[in-house]
Amino acid sequence: MWIRRGGIVLFFLYLLALAYFLFFSESYGRGLIGEGEYHYNLVPFREIRRFWIYREQVGTFAWMSNLLGNVVGFFPLGFILPVIFANMRNVGSIFCLGFLFSLSVETIQLVTKVGCFDVDDLMLNTLGAVLGYFAFAVCNWIRRGYHGKAV
């Protein structure tokens, strides 16, 4: 029971940190986009390719925070939700929830003109959630092997 309660606290803290980085942190691109304008990318792999090709020009921090940050940022979603909710213990549920949550975030960014709606972010965020689920599954499998029970 304490694992679920800890998961709920961690999930709440995760949501607060995610909201800060996605909507308020100027050091993560919020200040680089023209205010009052809509910015979006609907072409799959355009921004991923651009950041990879120009990784030396934009610098390590920029390409890693864009490409890896989108994956790592949604990793906890896929890891913590199965701890809290037993019905989230399958990859399909995490895939759908990760995609829908990412779509919500990207839509909020578009409507509020904070950041950029990017289809590449949808793909990377969803991948992060799924990888988080696989990490949970491995940890849960190891835990069951040692203790003989699931979370």
The percentage of residues in the chain with a pLDDT greater than 90, rounded to a whole number, is 68
Question: What is residue 1's predicted lDDT score, i.e. its pLDDT?
Answer: 78
Strand partners, 64: none
Number of domains in the chain: 1
Q: What is the phi/psi pair of residue 82, to 5°?
A: -65, -25
Distance of CA 43 to the CA centre of its chain: 19
Residue 109, pLDDT above cutoff 60: yes
Contact 69, 147 (CB under 8 A): no
Predicted confidence (pLDDT) per residue in 9-23, tens digit: 999 999 999 999 888
Question: What is residue 149's predicted lDDT score, i.e. its pLDDT?
Answer: 59
In whole angstroms, what is the distance from residue 139 CA to residue 67 CA?
25
Residue 29, pLDDT above cutoff 60: no
Contact 28, 65 (CB under 8 A): yes
Q: pTM to 2 decimals?
A: 0.88
In whole angstroms, what is the distance from residue 43 CA to residue 38 CA?
16
Predicted confidence (pLDDT) per residue in 47-65, tens digit: 999 999 998 999 988 888 8
Q: Two tokens at 113? A: 């003109």
Residue 151, pLDDT above cutoff 70: no
Question: What is residue 24's predicted lDDT score, i.e. its pLDDT?
Answer: 84
- For residue 65, the enclosing domain spans 2-147
H or E element, residue 41? strand 40-41
- Cα→Cα distances 145→12, 54, 141, Å: 29, 45, 6
* Cβ density class 117-142: b for 16+ within 10 Å, e for less: bbbbbbbbbbbbbbbbbeebbeebee
Q: What angle do CA 118, 63, 111 make, to 5 degrees?
A: 25
Closest CA to 115 of 34, 43, 5, 6: 34
Question: What is residue 9's predicted lDDT score, i.e. its pLDDT?
Answer: 96
